[in-house]
Amino acid sequence: MSEANQPPLDSDDLQGTTREFLDYCEEERERRRDSGAAFDEVLYQEAVDMVLRRLRNIEQGGAL
């Protein structure tokens, strides 16, 4: 299944490195929101989703 065709990530199902990455991203999102600096949250979320899909694929035994 290609990245584009994978089902949405359910954050309750994430474990290990993927869960740690998502937790970090959520904290970083809040930090950036609170900083007052310009922050493209849509672009940030797209990047997070891409990395999460790749981490999930790796954790399920797939290729990079």
Residues 30, 46: Cα–Cα separation, whole Å: 16
| Token pair 């299944």: residue | 1
Helices 16-35 and 41-59, interaxial angle, to 10°?
Answer: 170
pLDDT of 12: 57
Helix boundaries (H) for 1-64: 16-35, 41-59
Residues 11-42: tens digit of each pLDDT: 556 678 888 999 999 999 999 999 999 999 99
In terms of Cβ atoms closer than 10 Å to its own Cβ (0-12, 13-18, 19+), residue 57 is middle
